[in-house]
Each structure stands twice: as C-alpha cells, then as structure tokens.
C-alpha cells in the first residue's frame, strides 16, 4: 500500500542532521549529544521508599483511571508552591499535570493553532518543541537569541508583520541550545510586547532550578496580570525524566481547553508517576535535593568549560551558561561545521550540529551543542581530548 | 485577555450531554456511566512484587529517558505474542508502545489526517476517539452498527462517496457503546472494501480479552496482507488503566511516522509503566489472570442483564453482549431519552445518554449505555432497582 501521510507529518522528514545523530546511539560513543540528566542526580532511595509505600497502601488508586487535570494533591501542592516561591499563578490561574513538558507544547498547539498560524520562536530553539509546532502546520518565525535572550527590536518587527501570530515560545532560563538566560529587562519587555500585539507567551522552564551561578530572575509568568502567559514546568530535570511528569499553569479558561486537548491525547498522566512526585514534594527535602543536583552540574559545567578552553582554545567561542545542561560553541567561519560534527562522530564523540535547532534547518550556523550532564567526568575528559584532536584537522 | 482558541478545539464545546454527566461525579451516585475496570480485577499482589523489583534492581533505567518506540523487551514480547496467539503482525510490521490506546488514535490522526479528511466511524462509537478525530478537524461520517457490526452496504456507499476518506475506525469486539461484536464475514468484507477503496482501517481492540461467552473471532489485522490495518491494543482492561500503556502494530513505515508523531506529543511512555507490563507478561500467569477477569465480568454482566429483565422488562430492548463492559439499552419511542437520563441522575444513578456516542450528537437515539464493571454487585442491584422506579414516571 502506498501511504498518504498528512502534510504536517510528511514535513517532519528525517534530515541529514538526524542521520548523523543516528550514528551516535552506540554505547561506545561519548554522549555530548544527549540531554539526559546525570544518573547520580536521581533521588533513588527516596523513589524506592515512596514507590513501596504507594504500592502497599494506595495500589488501587495507582492502577485505576485518574482525571485528566491530574492528581488533585499534586495539583494543589504545585500550585501553592509555585505561587509562594515564584509568584507563578494568580487567583484566575489553574494547573494541569501533563505527560512531560513536551505535552504542554502539544496541547497548547492543539488548543490555539489553526493551520498557518505563526509561532514566534527563539532562533535557535529546542528541536522537540519546534517539531511539535511544525506538526500542527504552524509557520515558525525565528528571532535571534543573544547572550541575554531574544533581540527585542527584532521581536517587535516580527510582531508587527505577523498578523496571525498566536504565541511567542521562549525558554528564558539556560535556553536549549544556546545556554542564554533572558535578562529581567527583556522579560518585562517581552511581556509588554505580547500585551501590545495581543499574543500569548508560552514560557518553557524545564531548567529553571538548575541555576549554578548568577542571580535568580523571576519568570515572565510572574508579571502576568492579563492571563496571557502559559507556564510550562517539568520534573524531568529535578526528579527524573522517565516518569514523564510536567505541568502547565495558566488562566483557568486556557487550562480548561488544555484539559479537553489532553483528553483526546492520552486521557491522563499515569497515576503512579503523579503520586510519586506528590509524595516526594510533600514528604522529602526536595529543595535540598535540588541543591545537590546544582552542585553536580556546577562541577560538570566547570569541568567541561575548562576543557573547552584547554583543548579547543581559540578554535571555539562560547558564553558560559549560568545553568542548564548545555554549552553552545561557535566554530570559526572557515570551518565546515557539519563536517566537523561528522568527523567528531567518526571519532566516537557525538555532538549536535547547531542547524538541528534552527527554525529553518537550512539557515547557516557555525555552532555545535555540547551536553555535560549525560557523560561521566571521565567521559567528559576523554571526549574533549578527542575533540582537541579533531580540531587539528580543520 | 480574549482567547482565540483553534477552530478544532473550539468545536469541542461542552454539550448539554456533558453537563448532565458532570452531575455524576459525586461519590453517592451509582456509577453506571463510567468505564472503569473493577478494582478486584487488578493483579495487585503481582504489581507490588514487580514494582519492588524494578525499584530495587532497575531504578535508574526506570527513571531515565527511554526511546520513543518503547521499552525494547516489552515491544519484542508483545510483537511475538500477538503474532503467535492472534496472527496480528507480519514480517513487515512493527510495534510502538503508546500512552494508552487513546494515544494510538491521536498519533494516527496526526500522521494521516489533513484538515477536512474523512474518518468513517461506527455510529454510535466511543466518544473519546470521536473527539480525538474531531480535534484534527476531520469530517466524521457514521455508519450504523448492527448486532453483528457495521452495515457493510452502507459502508460501501460511504466509501464510494467520500473521496477524502483516510481510514475506517472500528471496535470489532464488544463495541463501545453498542456491545456489538463484528462477525467474521463482516470483518473480511470490511478488509475487502478497505482494499477496494484504498483506505486504512484503524482497528481498536481494548476489550478483546474480555470475552465472556461465544466463539473467538480473529481480528481484521490478522487478514492484513497489504499493511493497511493499524491495530490498537491496550493493557488498561487486563492489567490496569492508571499505568497508561497501549500499543499499535502496523506496517513499519506507519510505525516510523507514528514514532515521529509521538515524539512531538510526549517523548515516550513512562518507563516504570512499561517495565511493569513487561515483567507481568514475562514472569506471571497473565493468561490465568485474564481468565479470572473474565469470570468477574461474566458474573457482573449476568447480574446486570437479569436485573434489566426483571426491573425494566419490556421497557427496554437490548442485545446481550458477549463481552466488554457495557450494555446498550433502547428505550421506547415515546420516552424522552435525555429526560429519562436526567431523572435517573436526579435519583442518583448515572447512565450515559446514547447521543453522547453519536457521530452527530443531534442525531436522534433512544439508547442509553449501562456499565457493569465499575459498580459493585450491591450497587448494580440498588441502581437497577432505582431505574425500575424511574421507569414508572415514563
């Protein structure tokens, strides 16, 4: 049979970049291309205790259908915590528990995007979210990310022009892949522009708790008096990604539509995962655990940056991020970036070519993304040494 | 802010029917409207053992990211089992593990439906799937379900007319809500028609293992030589729905697109859920457990049918289903069906008005759906007595 796939999915063809990345799945390859948390960052003992407790005392509830909005104690806890700690969530706001933050992008797209509507994205941005927007046949318009976040003049130009813009997609903290953190001024300006041009902001904050230096900056959602910011959070980076628990906090009317969209997508997020997160938040020192993770990642980031300096020296330029999982390195103009990535993979070091994150994959970029959370310290040292060798061929 | 939701989601407005159903959430209401498995059907002891085992020996794997296609041992086990036991899955086929069977409908829709494409559905059909197709702005065309499945003459008429038909959606075993089981002849005919008019079949089989009487009938996928059947399975009814594990078996090219679609939806299904299902299948007598569940539901079905006969007598007509979770009852022509439902709810018995399942909710139906798996035997007796009283008002 000759399959007639939808236009939206046909547009997500495997690209040359993804073909390069396929070669990186092998275990002997050093994984600077991944985005997995360090296994030592998982609170394994707590999970064992909580898991045993749920299965002993609440097995039936963990096995039965739940409601689409999510496990009520978890929703209440997170809503209260986010309001008190981060000023995220006002009286008119509500929360939905999702199957990872990825699902926030999916159900927000389903709820707001007609075909051909525009999503304004940081350029570069997280490929998973870009592909999600593409899968709704949205038009993606990229705005350059600077060291302190999106260029606001360019954002306003785009907003003036794009009459069908529905939302601005931003990762304000330790952006994936650029590592950039948006300044307070730019966050305020983005909110002001969203009000002026009457669009929503989809604020994706998976890495917010992974700050390892610099000063806390409040999220855009904390200024939101209009109900125009949809805040996406995740437990993937602070607890564990394999449980797939994320959340959205937004105006009640929006949450009610996201709930309808989630109902058509997966009915609800698994009960065991939700109950696990709730008990962890409620009964364990999760803030202490977050500090522990920050220490792990601070050390790994320092290690990687010192090795970038010693092994790659003037060959690359980068801004050291204040947190997150990635360092975004720019190669010299004369180097063929894709060729550099290919040779690195050939030498068993997987890095992601920057073009994977461009709103238009054909757009030129000299950057590569290096992840420091997945490899062990030993592997970071080995991998950076190899990249130092690869450099000499260019 | 005045929200501009997408057309697709705006069309899923809460209806009068759903407003009636809202009143049924209260715990003192007898739940004939739900579709939850009986809690005594959960293999709680096995889940406790397996859960402890995973958390003790494979915690890191259960907490880390997995691949989108699903946990490899589970995929292999199910693919082999389905081929051997049900002749589902040929050499060209592959499997993806999904977040409940609901997600099969979602990612199949995303992968195949352009806006305005047609989905041919049994009429009535499962509201969750209908809403999923609606959420992609598909045109739904219903074909009447008879006691032995879809009317094949009408199906062919529709296929002749609908040039943009992409797939036929069917629940061949103990259909929700009608309880109908499609005959072998009709299954073959449906496959033949799908070939003749070059459309896919989305075969949804959540209840297949819940047969309590009559002879096993092979699934449509077992005749599939063309790769035109997408088979959706689920562990919700035989293990537990709260873990949200389903699957699709289809041609490799289709599974590869479904994988891309799932990547944009939730990255992967939680690892703990998948590992739990795998160990249950691999190490426990799951076929013995299925027989135990069949015994539970056989008794509940018998109880409900005998009470329909004694309490409602000539007032309703129904075909006793050979399995599944529901009895579909038709009220006399002169009775206002929605008013009957309203009065039943007022008297603390929740039943679902048949119109909720119609492809066009405004289409007239005299039917109501009764679920016998959720209420205890005691509640079935109480609830049917109350319906017997309600009847007298009509």
* pLDDT tens, residue by residue, A331-355: 999 999 999 999 999 999 999 999 9
A270 contacts B270 by C-beta, under 8 angstroms? yes
pLDDT band at A26 (very low <50, low <70, confident <90, very high): confident
pLDDT at A34: 85
User: What are φ and ψ of residue A244, in 5° steps?
Assistant: 55, 65
Q: How many residues does chain B have?
A: 394
Cα-Cα-Cα-Cα torsion A13, A17, A20, A21, nearest 10 degrees, comes to -80
What pLDDT sits at residue B20?
A: 65
Is the Cβ of B31 closer than 8 Å to some Cβ of chain A?
no
**CB proximity under 8 Å: B 158-197 to A:** 166
The CATH class, in words, for B44-283 is alpha beta
The end-to-end CA distance of chain B, in Å, is: 47
Query: Which residues of chain B lie closer than 8 angstroms to A293, CB-CB?
Result: none
pLDDT tens sequence across A148-164: 999 999 999 999 999 99
- d(C-alpha B65, C-alpha A243), whole Å: 8
- pLDDT at residue B18, rounded to an integer: 62
- Which CATH architecture best describes the domain A45-283? 3-Layer(aba) Sandwich (3.40)
CB B337 within 8 A of CB B331: yes
**Residue B118: strand pairing partners:** B139, B165
Q: Which two tokens stand for residue A302?
A: 């320092």
Q: Residue A20 — pLDDT band, cuts 50, 70, 90?
A: low
- The distance of B305 to chain A (nearest Cα, Å) reads 25
Q: What is the mean pLDDT of residues A40-49?
A: 96
* Predicted local distance difference test score (pLDDT) of residue A23: 67
Whether residues B51 and A47 touch (CB distance < 8 A) is answered with no
Give chain B positions within 8 Å (CB) of A115.
115
Count the helices and strands in chain A (H runs, E runs).
Answer: 14, 14
B187-221 in b/e form (b: 16+ CB < 10 A) is: bebbbebbbebebbbbbbbbbbbbbbeeeebebbb
CA pair distance B38, B373, nearest whole angstrom: 5
Question: Which residues make Cβ contacts (< 8 Å) with residue B30, sequence separation at least 6?
Answer: B348, B349, B350, B375, B379, B382, B383, B386
- Distance from the Cα of B218 to chain A's closest Cα (Å) equals 22
The closest alpha carbon to A98, from A238, A305, A274, belongs to A274
pLDDT score, position B13: 65
- Any idea which fold A15-43+288-391 has? 3.90.1150
Mutation target vs B (from A2, A9, A263; most B CBs, 10 A cutoff): A9
d(CA A266, CA B247): 12
pLDDT of res. B23: 67
CATH of B7-43+288-391, one of 3.90.1150.10, 3.40.710.10, 3.20.20.70, 3.40.50.150: 3.90.1150.10
Q: Which residue has the higher pLDDT, A121 or A8?
A: A121
Q: Can you give the pLDDT at residue A17? A: 62
CB A325 within 8 Å of CB A372: yes
HSE value, Cβ hemisphere, 13 Å, CA-based, for B42: 23
Sequence ranges of the domains in chain A = 15-43+288-391, 45-283
Tell me how far apart the 2 most distant CA atoms of chain A are, in Å. Answer: 63
Quick check: helix, strand or coil at residue B388? helix
Q: What is the mean pLDDT of residues A171-199?
A: 98
What is the separation, in whole angstroms, between the first and last Cα of chain A?
A: 47
Q: Does A254 touch chain B (CB under 8 A)?
A: yes
- Asked if A21 reaches chain B (Cβ–Cβ under 8 Å), the answer is no
Sorted by sequence, the CB contacts under 8 Å of residue B85 that are 6+ apart come out as none
- State residue A179's pLDDT score: 97
Chain B contact probe: residue of A65, A243, A252, A273 with most B CBs at under 10 A:
A65
How many other CB atoms are there within 10 angstroms of residue B318's CB atom?
Answer: 18
Question: Closest Cα to residue B97, out of B205, B247, B287?
Answer: B247
Which whole number is the average pLDDT over A222-244? 97
Give the helix ranges, DSSP H, for A135-237: 152-161, 184-196
Say whether A242 and B64 touch across the interface (CB within 8 A): yes
Report which DSSP code applies to B313: G
Q: Which two tokens stand for residue B116?
A: 């305005």
- Residue B303 is predicted with a pLDDT of 98
| Whole-complex ipTM | 0.96
CA B85/CA B187 separation, integer angstroms: 18
Tell me how close the Cα of A263 comes to any Cα of chain B, in angstroms. 7
Q: What pLDDT is stored for residue B44 in this prediction? A: 97
Residue A22 has pLDDT above 70, yes or no: no
Contact A307, A297 (CB under 8 A): no
The pTM score is 0.97
Give per-10-residue mean pLDDT for chain B (394 aa): 91 65 77 90 97 96 94 98 98 98 98 96 96 95 97 98 98 97 98 98 98 98 97 97 98 96 95 98 97 97 98 95 98 96 94 92 92 96 98 94
| Cα diameter, chain B | 63
Predicted confidence at residue B89, as pLDDT, reads 97
Residue A226 binned pLDDT confidence (cut-offs 50, 70, 90): very high
CA distance B182 to A86: 55
Backbone angles phi, psi at B277, to 5 degrees: -60, -45
Structure tokens at A23: 């070669």
Interchain contact A289–B (C-beta under 8 A): no
pLDDT at B21: 65
Kindly report the backbone phi and psi dihedral angles of residue B224, in degrees, each rounded to the nearest multiple of 5, phi listed first: -80, 100
DSSP B308: I
* The predicted structure's pLDDT at residue B16: 56
Alpha carbon distance B86, B96 (integer Å): 17
**Rounded Cα distance, B119 and B135, in Å:** 12
According to the model, what pLDDT value does residue A345 have?
92
* Of A384, A387, A379, residue with least CA distance to A36: A379
Count other C-beta atoms under 10 Å from residue A333's C-beta: 7
Residue whose C-alpha is closest to residue B12's, from A192, A340, A197, A259: A259
User: Residue B19: its pLDDT value, please?
Assistant: 64
């Amino acid at each position: 049979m000759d399959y007639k796939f939808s236009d939206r999915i046909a547009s997500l063809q495997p690209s040359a970049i993804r073909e390069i990345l396929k070669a990186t799945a092998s275990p002997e390859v050093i994984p600077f291309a991944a985005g997995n948390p360090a296994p030592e960052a998982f609170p394994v003992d707590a999970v064992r205790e909580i898991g045993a407790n749920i299965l002993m005392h609440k097995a039936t509830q963990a096995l039965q259908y739940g409601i689409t909005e999510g496990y009520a104690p978890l929703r209440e806890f997170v809503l209260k915590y986010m309001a008190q700690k981060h000023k995220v969530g006002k009286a008119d706001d509500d929360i939905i528990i999702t199957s990872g933050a990825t699902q926030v992008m999916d159900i927000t797209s389903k709820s707001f995007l007609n075909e051909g509507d525009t999503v304004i994205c940081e350029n570069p941005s997280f490929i998973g979210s870009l592909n999600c927007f593409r899968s709704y046949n949205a038009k993606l318009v990229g705005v350059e990310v600077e060291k302190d976040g999106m260029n606001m003049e360019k954002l306003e130009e785009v907003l003036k022009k794009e009459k069908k813009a529905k939302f601005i997609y931003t990762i304000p903290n330790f952006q994936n892949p650029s590592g950039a953190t948006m300044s307070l001024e730019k966050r305020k300006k983005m909110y002001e522009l969203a009000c002026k041009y009457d669009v929503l902001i989809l604020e994706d904050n998976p890495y917010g708790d992974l700050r390892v230096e610099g000063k806390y900056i409040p999220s855009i959602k904390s200024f939101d008096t209009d109900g125009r910011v949809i805040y996406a959070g995740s437990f993937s980076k602070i607890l564990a990604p394999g449980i797939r628990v994320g959340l959205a906090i937004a105006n009640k009317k929006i949450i009610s539509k996201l709930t309808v969209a989630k109902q058509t997508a997966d009915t609800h997020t698994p009960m065991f995962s939700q109950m696990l997160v709730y008990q962890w938040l409620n009964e364990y020192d999760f803030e202490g655990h977050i500090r522990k993770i920050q220490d792990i990642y601070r050390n790994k980031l320092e290690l990687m940056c010192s090795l970038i300096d010693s092994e790659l020296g003037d060959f690359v330029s980068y801004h050291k991020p204040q947190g997150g999982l990635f360092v975004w390195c720019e190669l010299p103009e004369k180097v063929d970036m894709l060729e550099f990535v290919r040779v690195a993979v050939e030498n068993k070091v997987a890095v992601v070519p920057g073009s994977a994150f461009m709103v238009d994959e054909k757009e030129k970029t000299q950057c590569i993304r290096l992840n420091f959370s997945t490899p062990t310290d030993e592997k970071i040292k080995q991998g950076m040494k190899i990249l130092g060798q690869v450099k000499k061929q260019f």
